[in-house]
Amino acid sequence: MIRVAVIGAAGYTGGETLRLLLQHPNVDAASIVAVSSSHAGKPLAEAHRDLLGWTDLLFVADVASLTGIDAVFLCMGHGKSAEWVRQHPAPRGTRVIDLSHDFRAMSPDHPFVYGLPEKYRQRLTTATHVANPGCLATSIELALLPLCERGDMTGDVIAHTISGSTGAGQQPIDTTHVSWRHSNVDSYKVFRHQHEAEIKQTLGDVKLHFVPLRGPFTRGIYATCVVPGVFDAAELGQLYTERYHDHPFVVIRDTPPDVKSVVNTNMCHIGFAASEQGVLIVSVIDNLLKGASGQAVQNMNLMFGFDETSGLRTKASVY
C-alpha cells in the first residue's frame, strides 16, 4: 500500500482525486494527506459532500515533509505548482503528478513527462514526475493521434469542444454563474487557447484551428474534429481499434458518441462520420476524470506498476 498526499484538495480536481484514491486497492486510504489552507481542520465532506460517510479524514494546512509520502498530486491553480515544487523538493522515490499546465511543455529544464498514457505509456512507467494533460487537449489528442501517426493530417483541421462548467474550476466567475450558463452556449479563447501548445507538441505540425465552447452542463467534453480528405469510416474504425486495442480507457464506437456515456468515468469514446470531402471524428470524455483526476490516477498506476485500471472502474451516470 502506498501513502499519498493531495495538495489543493478542496477544489474540483482535488475532490475527484480524493474520491478515487479512497477506494483505490493500492492506496492506504487512512493515511491520505489532504492539504487545503482554506479548509484546514475541517472534515473532507465539508468541501466534498459526496464523501459523507466515506472517511473521517480532516484537511490539513500544509505538509511539513514529503518523507514517507510515495505519491503527491498537485491539484492547485495554474501557475502555483511550479512554486510549490520549488519549495517542496521531493525525496528520492516520491512521485509527483501535476494537474496544472505548469510543466506540460516538455523540456530538459524539468523532469516532468507529459502524461498521455495512450502515447507515452512506456515513459510513464519509469517517470518520477508527470504533467497531467489538459482536459480539452486530451479529447482532441485521442481523436487525432492515429491519423497523425499515419500521416493523414495534411490539411487544415477544425476542432470544436463543448465543455461543462466544472472545467473552469471551483472559484465562481461570471461565465460559470447558473443564470449565464443555463440554456446558453458561447465561445472563448478562439484560436488562442492555452491547450493548443500541448496538442501540437503531442500531434506534431498540425494545422489546427481550435474553437472552444462553453456548454450548458456541469461536466463532460464533446469534441469534434473535421479532417479534410477522402476517408472510409469502416477503415478508420479498424485503424483506431487496432491503435487503441491495448488501451483500456478508449472505446471506438459504431454509434454516435454522447457525453452521458462517459460522465463519471475515465473513458474516452470515439466515433466517425466520413464523406468524399473529409471525416468528422467525435471524442467524448469526462473533463474531471479522463480530463484530470482519473487520468492522474491512471498515471499513478503506471508509475507504480499497478494494474492500469485500478481504482478507475466506475460506472457512467447515464440516467
Supply 4's cell numbers.
499519498
DSSP track, 73-92:
EE---TTTHHHHHHHSPPPT
Count of beta carbons in the 10 Å neighbourhood of residue 91:
11
CA 170 to chain centre: 16
Supply 55's cell numbers.
472517511
13 contacts 293 by C-beta, under 8 angstroms: yes
230 contacts 276 by C-beta, under 8 angstroms: yes
- Residues annotated as catalytic are 135
Q: How many CA atoms lie within 13 A of 304 on its CB side?
A: 26
Q: Give the containing element (helix H, strand E) for 58.
A: none
Q: Which residues are registered as beta bridge partners of 72?
A: 5, 96
259 contacts 107 by C-beta, under 8 angstroms: no
Give which of 163, 73, 134, 143 is closest to 291, Cα–Cα. Answer: 134
Give which of 201, 199, 207, 204 is closest to 283, Cα–Cα. Answer: 199
How many Å apart are CA 81 and CA 101, to the nearest integer? Answer: 9
